[in-house]
C-alpha cells in the first residue's frame, strides 16, 4: 500500500479524456432509407488520470456499454474528441485504430461468451500477442504464464490447456482479465465485469482488478448499474441517464451528497442492511427510461422528475453546473 500511495502522491498525468462525445446509430429501412438514429451517447465529457478509476453508473439502456465501445474504438463517434495517452484518436486509419485498441484492456460482462469456446486458455491468451506480433514464441509463452499467475489461476498447468467450458464462471472471468492485461495496457475498460458472476466471487474479481490497477498504475473505466460496489472501488463516478451524464464527481461527494434528482433516486434504491426495509416501500421515480430514438425535449429526466421546473426543464436542455469544485451536475436546480 505504501508504494501505491507514494505513486499517487505524484501528480499523475491525464491518461484518457473525452470531450462532447456522441455516438449515434443510424436506423435504415430495407437497408437503404434512413429513418432516424439512436443517440446512444450524446455529448459526454470526462477525463481520467493514470492509476485512477472512474465509475460510470446508470440503468440498462442508458448508453453505458456504447460509451465503453466508443472508448475502445469499436464504435466510431459521430462527433466529439477522444484523447488517449496524449494522442488524438479521431481520424485514425484502420491500422492505427487497431493498434490503439490493443492498448486498452477490455473486460466483458459475460465471461463465457467473451472466450472463444473452441480455443484453449493458452491460445486465447496468445491471440492478442500473435495479432500484435509482440516478440518471439518463447516470450509469448512466458507472458501467458505470467498473466495467468497474475490473475491467480495457479498452478498454471491446471488451467493453461483447458477449454473455457471446463472452467467455473469466476475462473472464466479471470481468464478474461488475464487477456485484457496480456498486452500490458495502461487503461482497462470493465463493462459490468461482475454482474454475471455468483455473489461469492464478485468481491474477489473486483479486488483482483483493483490489485492489478495498483500493481501496474492502470486507469480503469468501470461500468456498472450496481452502486453498492462503487464506494470501495473507485475515485470518480459519473451518473449516466439517457445518453448524457447527469452528475459527475468524486465518489464520496456523490454518495454522501447527491445533487441530481435522478442520482438521489438511484441511491435510495441501493439496498441497505436495515430491518426497517421489510416494511417500508421505496420511492422510485415513475415512468420508463427515456427512448434514445426520440428523447424527451429539454432535460431527459423531466418526465420522471419530482422537482421539475415547468417551462424550463421540459424546454431547455440543462447545462453542466459546477455545484462544488469537481462536482458537476446537469440540472436546472443548480443554476446560478
Question: Which residues contact another protein by CB under 8 A?
Answer: 28, 30-32, 69, 72-74, 98-99, 101-102, 104, 106, 108-110, 113-118, 127-128, 131-132, 163, 165, 176, 179, 183
C-beta of 78: minimal distance to another protein in Å?
Answer: 19
Q: How far is the CB of 257 from another protein (least distance, A)?
A: 36
What's the rounded Cα separation, in Å, for the pair 20 and 8? 28
Rounded Cα distance between 274 and 279, Å, is 10
Nearer to another protein, 33 or 281 (CB): 33
Closest to 18 in 3D by CA, of 41, 44, 52, 50:
44
Alpha carbons 285 and 271: distance in angstroms, whole number: 16
Q: Which is nearer to another protein, 95 or 310 (CB)?
A: 95
Please, what is the minimum distance in Å from the beta carbon of residue 68 to another protein?
Answer: 10
- SS3 of 21-67: EEEEEEEEECCCEEEEEEEEEEEEEEEEECCCEEEEECCCCCCHHHH
Residue 104 and residue 188 in contact, taking contact as beta carbons nearer than 8 Å: yes
Give the shortest CB-31-to-another protein separation in angstroms: 4
Nearer to another protein, 196 or 255 (CB): 196
CB nearer another protein, residue 115 or residue 309: 115
Report the sign of the C-alpha dihedral through residues 75, 80, 85, 86, in that order: positive
- For the bound state, the minimum distance from the C-beta of residue 275 to another protein, rounded and expressed in Å, comes to 40
Task: Give 165 or 310: the residue with its C-beta nearer to another protein.
Answer: 165
Neighbours of 328 (CB within 10 A): 22
Measured between alpha carbons, how far is residue 153 from residues 85, 158, 166, 196, 208 in Å? Answer: 31, 8, 14, 19, 11
Minimum distance from CB of 48 to another protein (Å)? 18
Q: In this structure, what is the dihedral angle of CA atoms 174, 176, 178, 182, given to the nearest 10 degrees?
A: 180
Of 23 and 328, CB closest to another protein: 23
Amino acid at each position: 500500500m505504501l508504494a501505491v500511495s507514494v505513486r499517487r502522491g505524484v501528480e499523475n498525468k491525464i491518461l484518457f479524456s473525452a470531450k462532447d462525445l456522441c455516438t449515434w446509430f443510424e436506423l435504415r429501412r430495407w437497408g437503404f432509407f434512413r429513418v432516424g438514429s439512436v443517440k446512444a451517447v450524446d455529448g459526454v465529457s470526462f477525463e481520467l488520470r493514470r492509476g485512477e478509476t472512474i465509475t460510470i453508473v446508470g440503468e440498462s439502456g442508458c448508453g453505458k456499454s456504447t460509451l465503453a465501445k466508443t472508448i475502445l474504438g469499436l464504435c466510431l463517434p459521430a462527433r466529439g474528441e477522444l484523447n488517449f495517452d496524449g494522442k488524438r484518436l479521431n481520424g485514425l486509419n484502420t491500422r492505427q485504430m487497431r493498434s490503439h485498441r490493443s492498448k486498452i484492456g477490455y473486460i466483458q460482462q459475460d465471461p463465457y461468451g467473451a472466450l472463444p469456446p473452441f480455443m484453449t486458455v493458452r491460445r486465447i491468451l496468445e491471440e492478442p500477442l500473435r495479432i500484435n506480433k509482440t516478440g518471439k514464441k518463447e516470450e509469448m509463452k512466458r507472458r501467458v504464464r505470467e498473466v495467468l499467475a497474475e490473475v491467480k489461476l495457479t498452478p498454471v498447468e491446471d488451467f493453461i490447456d483447458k477449454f473455457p467450458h471446463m472452467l467455473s464462471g469466476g475462473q472464466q472471468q479471470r481468464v478474461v482479465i488475464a487477456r485484457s492485461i496480456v498486452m500490458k495496457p495502461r487503461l482497462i475498460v470493465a463493462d459490468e465485469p461482475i454482474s454475471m458472476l455468483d455473489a461469492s466471487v464478485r468481491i474477489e474479481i473486483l479486488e483482483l482488478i483493483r490489485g492489478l490497477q495498483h500493481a501496474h498504475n492502470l486507469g480503469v473505466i468501470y461500468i456498472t448499474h450496481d452502486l453498492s460496489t462503487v464506494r470501495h472501488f473507485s475515485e470518480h463516478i459519473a451518473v449516466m441517464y439517457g445518453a448524457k451524464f447527469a452528475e459527475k464527481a468524486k465518489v464520496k461527494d456523490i454518495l454522501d451528497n447527491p445533487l441530481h434528482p435522478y442520482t438521489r433516486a438511484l441511491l435510495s434504491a441501493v439496498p441497505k442492511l436495515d430491518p426497517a426495509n421489510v416494511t417500508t416501500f421505496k420511492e422510485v421515480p415513475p415512468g420508463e427510461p427515456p427512448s434514445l430514438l426520440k428523447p424527451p425535449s429539454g432535460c431527459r429526466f423531466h418526465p420522471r422528475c419530482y422537482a421539475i421546473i415547468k417551462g424550463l426543464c421540459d424546454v431547455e436542455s440543462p447545462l453542466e453546473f459546477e455545484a462544488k469544485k469537481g462536482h458537476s451536475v446537469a440540472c436546472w436546480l443548480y443554476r446560478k
